[in-house]
């Protein structure tokens, strides 16, 4: 291994630029693979592609003029690429190293155009925050943001991963990411921000046998362009959309925690007939919209804020839990000013814990099914069901309103399989319209108000008067 020091302003490819010692006599050979190139206090301009073992860059300017610098990894100490106080401009860098090492690709100004990591079996770690002004390609090996320092990584262009990108707890921003078969993105536990659409028209594409590991982090999507998402079946943890146009899922879309959508324009999410599953809360904030079609949707809870819009699947939306909102705990909360379109579908509540329903905005449920193995089901405010109500509760547990002033209208049939509708202390005490009621088991408590029935049939239950 030889060291080559810049001793004059000039052409990288000229011997007059280099010496064998700092401040030494110019005329040394141009650095090659295995050599350590050391730049200090001079402006060096590349006029062709170059290969070095490592580049240690203390002060001055490196002008790439669009050429590529390949770093092979020498046997010396320190980083593969070290930039301390300098300007680096208009250069493509490929790390094709035969050893682990660190890189620092952000000087006092300027940035690397394109960065390629092609170091099979080795880990290249960031030694400082990095900005790539065009694309990042990880062909082989690992690019690690450093678990100790969690350096920020900003890629203005597209990220393509055939090797491994490890995000630790860093702030990561990119235009798009394409995870190839065999590639892995172990996401930051912080936030991955996706700002646009890649060359394949996907902001996020995880190919078959690609791997996305969410690391309990957040993916935020903020593009203004139409786009397709393909998570490849791997779940996000938290997903936030603030985009201003449609984005749609090309395969099952799964979120292990919360999904939040809001927009200042016409942005909306379309599951596109693919299963849409969110373990936590789906929050549709002002300007946000979800347009479902006929897929199976499963949410922990659903909150539609004022200005939010939810167009339900024509199949079944299953609500499995409950979340705390500004107005209290709810499983499905349609706030005043929000819009719910039922599309002739069914909403199913099936948690073993208490669940609560509020429909204070525009729109009604079509079919409502409550099938709970334990605890209560409570409605808030007036409720209208355009078709059928089917209630199955554990024995001695109740469907009831939060307030006796609340009213209930069911235009179709009401079925009580087990459990109780109303109780002696809390009931729909106003005028209530039940349609045809069939009591297979359990207890139907007639309220102290007006109970309108198209018909009532008691198969094996109890009808009582409060």
Average pLDDT for residues 164-181, to the nearest whole number?
97
Identify the pLDDT of residue 167: 98
At residue 248, φ and ψ (nearest 5 deg) are -135, 155
Helices (H), 223-296: none
Q: What percent of the chain has pLDDT over 70?
A: 94
Identify the pLDDT of residue 105: 80
Average pLDDT for residues 237-248, to the nearest whole number?
89
Residues 13-58: pLDDT tens digits? Answer: 999 999 999 889 999 999 999 899 988 888 899 999 999 999 887 7
Average pLDDT for residues 164-170, to the nearest whole number?
98
Task: Compute how many other C-beta atoms are within 10 angstroms of the C-beta atom of residue 329.
Answer: 15
Q: Which tokens hold the place of 280?
A: 């936590």
Residues 284-339: pLDDT tens digits? Answer: 999 999 999 999 999 999 999 999 999 999 999 999 998 765 456 889 999 999 99
User: Which band of pLDDT confidence, cut at 50, 70 and 90, is reported for residue 143?
Assistant: very high
Average pLDDT for residues 254-278, to the nearest whole number?
91
Give the C-alpha separation, 239 to 254, whole Å: 10
What residues contact residue 425 under an 8 Å CB cut-off, 6+ apart? none
Give the C-alpha separation, 408 to 391, whole Å: 14
Q: What percent of the chain has pLDDT over 90?
A: 72
Is the Cα torsion angle 324, 327, 329, 331 positive or negative in sign?
A: negative
Average pLDDT for residues 405-421, to the nearest whole number?
95
* 37 in Cβ contact with 52 (< 8 Å): yes
CA-based R_g, the chain, Å: 31
Identify the pLDDT of residue 305: 95
Pick from 28-42, 97-111, 124-138, 305-319: least confident: 97-111
Please tell me which residue, 66 or 442, carries the higher pLDDT value.
Answer: 442
Identify the pLDDT of residue 41: 83
Identify the pLDDT of residue 400: 92
Identify the pLDDT of residue 310: 97
Q: Is the pLDDT of residue 454 over 80?
A: yes
* 161 in Cβ contact with 184 (< 8 Å): yes
User: Which band of pLDDT confidence, cut at 50, 70 and 90, is reported for residue 391?
Assistant: very high
Q: Is the pLDDT of residue 138 over 90?
A: yes
Residue 264: C-alpha distances to residues 224, 260, 419 (Å): 10, 14, 45
* 78 in Cβ contact with 24 (< 8 Å): no
What distance lies between CA 278 and its chain's CA centroid?
Answer: 11
Q: Is the pLDDT of residue 385 over 90?
A: yes
Q: Which tokens hold the place of 425?
A: 């202390």
> What would you measure as the largest C-alpha separation in the chain, in angstroms?
106
Average pLDDT for residues 245-256, to the nearest whole number?
91
User: Which band of pLDDT confidence, cut at 50, 70 and 90, is reported for residue 197?
Assistant: confident
* 348 in Cβ contact with 367 (< 8 Å): no
Identify the pLDDT of residue 25: 93
Residues 112-123: pLDDT tens digits? Answer: 889 999 999 999
What residues contact residue 222 under an 8 Å CB cut-off, 6+ apart? 193, 194, 195, 241, 242, 243
Identify the pLDDT of residue 10: 93
Which residue, among 85, 91, 39, has the nearest Cα to 63 in the 3D structure?
91
Average pLDDT for residues 180-188, to the nearest whole number?
97
Please tell me which residue, 422 or 139, carries the higher pLDDT value.
Answer: 139
- DSSP lists the bridge partners of residue 60 as 42, 86
């Amino acid at each position: 291994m030889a060291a080559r020091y810049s001793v004059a302003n000039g052409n990288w490819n000229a011997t007059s630029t280099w010496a064998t010692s700092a401040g030494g006599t110019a005329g040394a050979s141009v650095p090659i693979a295995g050599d350590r190139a050391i730049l200090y206090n001079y402006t060096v301009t590349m006029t062709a592609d170059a290969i070095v073992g490592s580049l240690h860059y203390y002060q001055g300017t490196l002008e790439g003029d669009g050429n590529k610098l390949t770093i092979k990894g020498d046997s010396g100490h320190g980083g593969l690429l070290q930039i301390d106080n300098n300007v680096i401009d208009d250069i493509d860098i490929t790390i094709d190293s035969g050893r682990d090492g660190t890189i620092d690709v952000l000087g006092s100004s300027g940035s690397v155009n394109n960065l390629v990591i092609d170091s099979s079996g080795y880990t290249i770690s960031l030694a400082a925050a990095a900005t790539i002004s065009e694309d990042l390609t990880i062909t082989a090996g690992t690019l690690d943001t450093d678990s100790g320092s969690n350096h920020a990584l900003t890629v203005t262009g597209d990220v393509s991963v055939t090797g491994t990108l490890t995000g630790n707890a860093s702030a990561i921003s990119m235009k798009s990411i394409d995870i190839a078969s065999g590639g892995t993105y172990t996401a930051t536990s912080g936030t991955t921000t996706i700002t646009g659409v890649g060359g394949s028209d996907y902001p996020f594409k995880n190919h078959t046998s690609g791997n996305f590991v969410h690391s309990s982090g957040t993916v935020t999507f903020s593009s203004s362009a139409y786009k397709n998402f393909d998570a490849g079946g791997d779940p996000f943890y938290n997903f936030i959309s603030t985009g201003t146009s449609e984005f749609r899922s090309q395969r099952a879309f799964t979120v292990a925690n919360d999904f939040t959508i809001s927009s200042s324009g016409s942005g909306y999410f379309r599951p596109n007939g693919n299963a849409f599953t969110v373990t936590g809360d789906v929050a549709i904030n002002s300007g946000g919209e979800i347009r479902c079609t006929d897929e199976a949707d499963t949410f922990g809870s659903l909150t539609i804020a004022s200005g939010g819009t939810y167009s339900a699947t024509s199949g079944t939306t299953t609500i499995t839990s409950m979340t705390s909102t500004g107005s209290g705990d709810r499983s499905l909360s349609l706030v005043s000013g929000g819009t719910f379109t039922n599309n002739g579908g069914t909403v199913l509540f099936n948690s073993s814990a208490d669940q609560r329903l509020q429909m204070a905005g525009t729109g009604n449920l079509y079919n409502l099914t409550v099938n709970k193995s334990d605890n209560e089901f409570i409605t808030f405010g007036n409720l209208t069901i355009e078709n059928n109500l089917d209630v199955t509760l554990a024995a001695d547990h109740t469907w009831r309103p939060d307030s006796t002033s609340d009213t209930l209208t069911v235009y179709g049939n009401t079925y009580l399989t087990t459990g109780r509708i109303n109780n002696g202390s809390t009931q729909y005490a106003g005028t209530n319209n039940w349609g045809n009621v069939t009591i297979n088991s359990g207890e139907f408590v007639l309220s102290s108000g007006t109970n309108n029935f198209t018909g009532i049939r008691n198969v094996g239950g109890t009808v009582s008067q409060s």
